Amino acid sequence: MFQKVLIANRGEIALRVLRACRELGIETVAVHSEVDAEALHVRLADEAVCIGPPDATQSYLNVPAILAAAEITGADAVHPGYGFLSENADFAQIVSDCGLTFIGPRPEDMSQWGEKVPARALAKRLGLPLMEGSQVIQDADDAVRQAEAVGFPVMLKASGGGGGRGMQIIRDAESMRKAYPRARAEAEASFKNGDLYCERYVEEPRHIEFQVLCDGAGKVWVLGERECSIQRRHQKILEEAPSVAMTEELRRDMTSTIERALRESGYRSAGTLEFLMDERGNLAFMEMNTRIQVEHPVTEEVTGVDLVMEQIRLAAGETPTLPDEPGMKGHAIELRINAEDPDTYVPWPGKITSYHPAGGPGIRIDDGVFAGWTVPRVYDSLIAKLIAVGPTRDIAIRRLRRAVDETIIDGIRTNLPLHRRILQDPDFVSGNLSTKFLERLAERRATG
123: amino acid identity, one letter: A
CB 59 within 8 A of CB 49: no
* Marked catalytic residue, from 10, 16, 206, 291: 291
Alpha carbon 196 to chain centroid distance? 21
Q: Tell me if residue 12 falls in helix, strand or coil.
A: helix
d(CA 405, CA 400) in angstroms, rounded, equals 9
Among the listed residues 208, 332, 325, the one whose alpha carbon sits nearest the alpha carbon of residue 276: 208
d(CA 132, CA 376) in angstroms, rounded, equals 41
How many CB atoms neighbour CB 418 within 10 A? 23
398 included as an active-site residue: no
Backbone φ, ψ for residue 158 (5° rounding): -85, 130
Instruction: Report the chain's terminal Cα–Cα distance, integer Å.
Output: 58
CB 308 within 8 A of CB 29: no
Measured torsion, CA atoms of residues 230, 235, 240, 242, in degrees rounded to the nearest 10: 90
CB 206 within 8 A of CB 275: no
d(CA 434, CA 257) in angstroms, rounded, equals 24
CB 322 within 8 A of CB 221: yes
What one-character-per-residue DSSP string does 193-230 give?
A: ---EEEEEPPSS-EEEEEEEEEESSS-EEEEEEEEEEE
CB 86 within 8 A of CB 308: no
CB 286 within 8 A of CB 276: yes
Q: Tell me if residue 184 falls in helix, strand or coil.
A: helix
d(CA 225, CA 243) in angstroms, rounded, equals 7
- Vertex 118 angle, CA 115 and 120, to 5°: 100
d(CA 342, CA 31) in angstroms, rounded, equals 31
How many CB atoms neighbour CB 306 within 10 A? 17
Active site residues: 291
